[in-house]
């Protein structure tokens, strides 16, 4: 280990039961409090890699080789906020349940902690008082609840699987700012899967660019984005639609 890594993935390969390679010899390491971005197109194996870290591979996909070493608790934030909450259970109850199980506290104490977490994520009081169901919340509110649930595990590593893809852009910005602020406050490390380079640039200190199940380029975010070595990285960057006013100013990424 080059430095005090909290998570180390080495030569990770994933394949279907019929030996079709999905992820091929992926390696990266993550230090305490660091954020690593996994970027790439759909089907490049980013989400699968993330799920493998959590041991949550879909049926029919198996680990074909490599090691995942981690000595921290990890929790995941999923892409579809509404889909990752039980539709028939009030959100506060779901959060309380996780607090109770993960922190081994009484029901009453768990509710207190749950409400604090919601407060931390800036959710309005109405959610805490009335027992709201996921269908009664907006996508952004649901995602805040999901993040609160993940934080209830006191994670050392927060795994984010495109946490803002299903949200509209303004909410997207708020959620990312919230996650970054919480990271500064609580000091967890993050693996951030996204296909949005702007989001990756804003949140991640290191980047891994994935294509067809392989990492084609990795390094510090600024290095990768300012001086892409791989043509695929260049292509990804070219595919970002520039905001007209900023075009030509050369300051999109800084």
Partner 1 sequence: MKQMRIDPRLNAYGNRTSMIGRIWSTPTLLVGTLMFAVIVLLAVFIPFISPYQPSEQNLSAFLQPPSAEHWLGTDQLGRDLFTRLIYAARTDLKIMVLAEIIPFCTGLFLGMVAGYYGKWIDTVISLLTDTFIAFPFYLIVIIVAFASGAGERGIYITFTLVGWIVFARVTRGLTASFRQQEWVASAQTLGLPGIRIILRHILPNVMPQAIVVLMTDMVGLLVAIVTLGYLGIGIAPPTPDWGTMISDGQSFITTAWWLSAVPGMAVVYTGIALSLVGDGLADLWRKK
Q: Please give the residue ranges that form the binding site for partner 1 (CB under 8 A).
A: 54-56, 59, 75-76, 78-80, 83-89, 97-98, 101-102, 146, 149-150, 152-153
Closer CB to partner 1, 1 or 88, in the complex: 88
CA distance 203 to 197: 10
- Give the nearer residue to partner 1 in terms of CB position, either 74 or 221: 74
The three-state secondary structure class of 21 is: strand
Cα 92 from Cα 145, distance rounded (Å)? 8
DSSP 248: T
54 CA to centre of own chain: 12
- Classify 76 as helix, strand or coil: strand
Cβ nearer to partner 1, comparing 24 with 94: 94
Return the number of the residue (89 or 130) whose C-beta is nearest partner 1: 89
Shortest approach of partner 1 to residue 85 CB, angstroms? 5
In the complex, least distance from residue 240 CB atom to partner 1, rounded to whole angstroms: 28
CB nearer to partner 1: pick between 75 and 224: 75
Least distance to partner 1 from the beta carbon of 98, Å?
Answer: 5
Q: Which residue has the tokens 């992926």?
A: 26
Give least dist CB 111 to partner 1, A.
Answer: 16
Do β-strands 157-161 and 74-77 pair in parallel, antiparallel, or remain unpaired?
parallel
Residue that the structure tokens 């070493």 belong to: 69
**123: number of Cβ within 10 Å:** 21
Q: How far is CA 156 from CA 73, 127, 137, 178, 227, in A?
A: 5, 27, 28, 17, 31
Q: Closest Cα to residue 83, out of 39, 139, 38?
A: 139
- Give 121 or 209: the residue with its C-beta nearer to partner 1: 121
Q: How far is the CB of 213 from partner 1 (least distance, A)?
A: 21
Please state, in angstroms and rounded to a whole number, the distance separating the CA atoms of residues 134 and 132: 7
CB of residue 250 to partner 1, shortest distance in Å:
40
Q: Which is nearer to partner 1, 78 or 188 (CB)?
A: 78
Shortest distance, CB of residue 146 to partner 1, whole angstroms? 8
What is the rounded distance in angstroms from the CA atom of residue 185 to the CA atom of residue 94? 24
């Amino acid at each position: 280990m080059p430095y005090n890594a909290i998570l180390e993935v080495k030569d990770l390969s994933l394949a279907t039961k019929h030996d079709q390679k999905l992820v091929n010899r992926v390696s990266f390491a993550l230090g305490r409090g660091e954020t690593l971005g996994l970027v790439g197109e759909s089907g490049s194996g980013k989400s699968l890699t993330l799920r493998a870290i959590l041991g949550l591979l879909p049926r029919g996909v198996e680990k074909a080789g490599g090691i995942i070493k981690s000595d921290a608790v990890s929790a995941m934030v999923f892409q579809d906020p509404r889909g990752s909450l039980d539709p028939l259970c009030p959100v506060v109850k779901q959060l309380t349940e996780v607090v109770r199980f993960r922190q081994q506290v009484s029901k009453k104490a768990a509710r207190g902690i749950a409400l604090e977490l919601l407060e931390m994520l800036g959710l309005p009081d109405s959610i805490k008082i009335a027992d709201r169901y996921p269908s009664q919340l907006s996508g952004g509110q649901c995602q805040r609840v999901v993040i609160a649930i993940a934080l209830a595990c006191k994670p050392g590593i927060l795994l984010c699987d495109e946490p803002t893809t299903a949200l509209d852009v303004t909410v997207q910005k708020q959620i990312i700012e919230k996650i970054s602020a919480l990271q500064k406050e609580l000091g967890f490390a993050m693996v951030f899967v996204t296909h949005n380079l702007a989001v990756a640039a804003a949140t991640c200190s290191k980047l891994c660019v994935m294509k067809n199940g392989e990492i084609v380029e990795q390094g510090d975010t600024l290095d990768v984005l300012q001086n892409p070595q791989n043509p695929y990285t260049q292509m990804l960057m070219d595919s970002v639609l520039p905001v007209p006013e900023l075009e030509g100013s050369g300051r999109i990424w800084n």
